[in-house]
Amino acid sequence: RVGFVGLGIMGVGMAGNLKKKGHDLVVWNRTKEKCQALEKEGAKVADTPADVVKECDIVFACLADPDIAMDVVFRDDGILKAMKPGKAYVDCSTVDEECSNKIGDAITAAGGRFLEAPVSGSKKPAEDGTLIFLTAGDESLYKDSQPYLEAMGKKHRYLGKTGGGARMKLVVNMIMGSMMNAFAEGMTLAESSDLDLSALLEVLDAGAMSNPMFRLKGPSMAKGEYPPAFPLKHQQKDMRLALALGDKLEVPMPVAAAANESFKRARMEGKGDLDFSAVHGSLRKAK
């Protein structure tokens, strides 16, 4: 039996793929209504995170931010309450290294095994089972988790001791956010210059800057539509955490800092729950 905690935009697709691949699944979410679809498919719904641990040897989690990730572990009925030797916790949340280490230290102190496994990918890859897992921590747990990782993703990489996965994910998402901001500025400039946005997208796709993100997001951005696959509020959170890592390591990051300000402005305008490509809508409004 395998457990899954956190059934948001990413988690529901990830847990769904575990169920589709035939794994006996126990789930928990803060809002129980989000468990209903998986319950209809045969998953058992637990009352607390601790109850998931009691019923499963390995529990996965995908949670929105460091505060929620910490709460689910350390609350009175949380993961740690039932953790003991023979149990394991795999955290797929995007958090900072400090958060990951605190959780990992607590899990191992209770006798359990811990693996951080943040994912590269958004809603559709989570649904399609094509995520990339950036893992670090207990190598034996990494090996034991591979059947589950392969049910949810197309690639997994082990990056050493706890913290390596968190740092890699922040670097990846910082690059992605900076790219999206530049893409949004370019589309806004093209539109303001009376250029055909479909022509811009075609030119970009034909050259060295061709990439899946522009190909996927460009057409809906051209229409001013931003259906949430990766919420803007989460992208801005990741930019903030990446910049904090840069401050700690004394790495200048002026491009990322500027992109973060654009995402912050979009959040202030109420676009936090839209896709991160909605930074384009903020720029269009400002022009």
Among all residues, which ones are annotated catalytic? 169
* Sequence-separated (6 or more) residues with CB below 8 Å from residue 245: 96, 97, 167, 170, 251
Query: Tokens standing for 51?
Result: 């109850």
Give the Cα separation of 214 and 71 in Å (integer).
Answer: 36
Q: How is 63-100 classified by DSSP, letter by letter?
A: -SSHHHHHHHHHSTTSHHHH--TT-EEEE-S---HHHH
The string of DSSP codes covering 222-286 is HTT----SSBHHHHHHHHHHHHHHHHHHT---HHHHHHHHHHHHHHHTT-TTSBGGGHHHHHHHH
- The values of phi and psi at residue 102, to 5°, are -65, -45
Do the Cβ atoms of 167 and 241 come closer than 8 Å?
no
| Burial per residue of 201-215, b for 16 or more beta-carbon CB atoms within 10 angstroms, e otherwise | beebeeeeeeeeebe
**What six digits make up the tokens of 7?**
């059934």
d(CA 83, CA 88): 8
Q: Do 225 and 246 form a contact (C-beta atoms < 8 A)?
A: no
CA dihedral (95, 99, 105, 106) positive or negative:
negative
